[in-house]
Amino acid sequence: MQYFIHTFQMQNKPPVKRPILGFLLLFLAICNRAEGQSNALYGPLGVKSELAKAGVWNTPSFDFTHDFEAYKQFSNIKGLFFKGLDYNGKQTKVFCWYGVPNGLSKGEKRPAVVLVHGGGGTAFPEWIKEWTDRGYIAIAVALEGQVPGEKMEHTSGEKLWPGHEFYGPRRIGFFEDVVIKKLQDQWFYHAVADVMLATSLLKSFPEVDVESIGISGISWGGILTNVITGIDDRYAFAIPVYGCGFLHETPHYSHLLRLLSKEQQQFYLQNWEPSLYIPLQEQPTLFVNGTNDFHFTMNSFTKTYLASKNEKYLYVEHNMKHGHSPGREPEEIYAFADYVIKKGERFLKPKFKRLKRNNELVYGVDGKVMEAVLYTNSDTADWGRDNYIWQQISMRFSDSKKIISATLPKNAQAYFVNIIDSKGHIYSSPTRLVKKI
C-alpha cells in the first residue's frame, strides 16, 4: 500500500495578501453598512476601527481598591478597577488583580503579561503569582463584571462569581448575543476591549517595560488572545492555551454554532471567527493544547498554527486536562516568555523530513534532545475526544542526534512528534495527516 502526506489546508484558494485583505474588508464593511444590514460585516479591520473610536488604545482612568484584601492571597498583589466601555448606555468598571515581583526596586522596570481567563473563570491571583515569581509584572482581568468572592447560585441555576454595580455584559453561550445586540454591546466586543484597555493601563505604569508586554489566555481566553493579537501589535509575545480558531470545524463548537440563527452564524463567521485574525498577528507565539481536548480538537488547533505567519512554536501535551489550573502549569509557557523577553534558551522545532516507502518516518532536530516520541492515531473520523486514541512510539536517534526516526504504523491516520530537552521541556511538531491511495 502506498502513502502520501497531506498537511492541514486552510483554504483551497491562495492566501490573500494583507493590504488587499484590508481593502476588501473595508469595502465590504462600507457596502454592508450602507445597505443597513443588521449583520454588517466588520471583520478585523472594522472591529479595530470601532475599538479605536471607543478609545481602547488610551489609558483608562483607574483606582486601586482594598475592598477584596481577604481574597488576594499574596502580599505583592492588589486589586484595581479601571473604566470600561459603556454597556447598554451605562458606565462600566472592570476589576483586575495586579501584581509585581517581590523586591522590585524603585525606578526598576520589568516585563509584564496580561492574563485572560476562560469560561467559568475570573481574575485569579494565583495565576498572577506564577508570573511574578518568575520576574514578570502581571495583570489579570475579570471579563464578566465579576469581583473576588465565593461563587453564588444564580436564578438560572448556575453558580456565578459575585458582581458589582458597574458590571458589563456576561458571556452567553457560544456567541448567542450576536445580531440580537449591536456589536458595541456584545460580550466578546467588551472582552476584547477590556483586555486592550488593561494593556493600555499597564503601559502607563512606570515599573512596566512597555516594549516587553506579553499576553496569555486560557480556553475562551485563548480565543480572545488569538483575536486581540490580530488587531493589536503591542504584544511582545502571545501564549494562547487550548483556545484556537476554526471553531466551526470542531465537534463541540460546530454543534453550538448550528443552534444559532443563520444570521447569527454568518455574523460570527464574518466578524469574530479567530481564523480571520490569526494571519494578521506579528508577535512570536506559543500555541498550547492537549491531544484530546473536548473543546479545541487537534484538527482546528493545527490549522490555527498553520494559519499563523509569525514566529511560532507548539506545545502539545498527551491527554492534557482542560482547566485554568492545568492551563497555567506547563513550564514551557514561562520558558517561552523568557526566550522572547530575556533572550533565554532557544525554543526547538522537530522538522518533518520524509516518509519513506517502508513507512520509515524521519524528522530533523535543531538542538540537543534527550528523548523523542511519535504520537499516532488511527481514527480521525470526527475528531471527537473519545473517538481517537494517541499511541506513543519511542523514536530512534541517528549518530549525529540531528535525525530522529520511527516506523509509522500502517493504520495511522495522523501523527505528530514531541522532542524533550535536558530540562524536560517539550517541543511539538504540527499534526500531519496520512491518506492512503
Q: Which residue has the cell 458571556?
A: 171
C-alpha to C-alpha distance for 210 and 431, rounded to whole angstroms: 35
**DSSP strand pairing (285-290 vs 238-241):** parallel
In the chain, what are the domains? 37-341 (3.40.50.1820), 350-436 (2.60.40.10)
Q: What are the pLDDT tens digits along the chain (437 aa)?
A: 333 333 454 333 334 444 444 444 444 444 444 333 445 679 999 999 999 999 999 999 999 999 999 999 999 999 999 999 999 999 999 999 999 999 999 999 999 999 999 999 999 999 999 999 999 999 999 999 999 999 888 777 778 898 989 999 999 999 999 999 999 999 999 999 999 999 999 999 999 999 999 999 999 999 999 999 999 999 999 999 999 999 999 999 999 999 999 999 999 999 999 999 999 999 999 999 999 999 999 999 999 999 999 999 999 999 999 999 999 999 999 999 999 999 999 999 999 999 998 999 999 998 899 999 999 999 888 888 677 889 999 999 997 879 999 999 999 999 999 999 999 999 999 999 997 65
- Rounded (10°) CA dihedral 162, 165, 166, 168: 40
pLDDT in tens, 46-86: 999 999 999 999 999 999 999 999 999 999 999 999 999 99
Sign of the dihedral through C-alpha 39, 41, 42, 43: positive
> What does the block give as the cell for 166?
458597574
Strands (E), 109-259: 110-116, 137-141, 152-153, 159-160, 208-218, 238-241
21 touches 1 (CB < 8 A)? no
- Rounded (10°) CA dihedral 217, 221, 222, 225: -80
What's the angle, vertex CA 298, arms to CA 390 and CA 392, rounded to 5? Answer: 20
pLDDT in tens, 408-437: 999 999 999 999 999 999 999 999 999 765
Among 353, 354, 356, 334, smallest CA distance to 345 is for 334
- Ordered alpha helix ranges (H), 116-172: 125-132
Mean pLDDT of all residues belonging to the chain: 90
All residues at 6 or more sequence positions from 423 whose CB lies less than 8 Å from its CB, including other chains: 331, 335, 345
Which helix (H) or strand (E) is 275 found in, with range? Answer: none
Provide the residue type at 131 as one letter.
W
199 touches 212 (CB < 8 A)? no
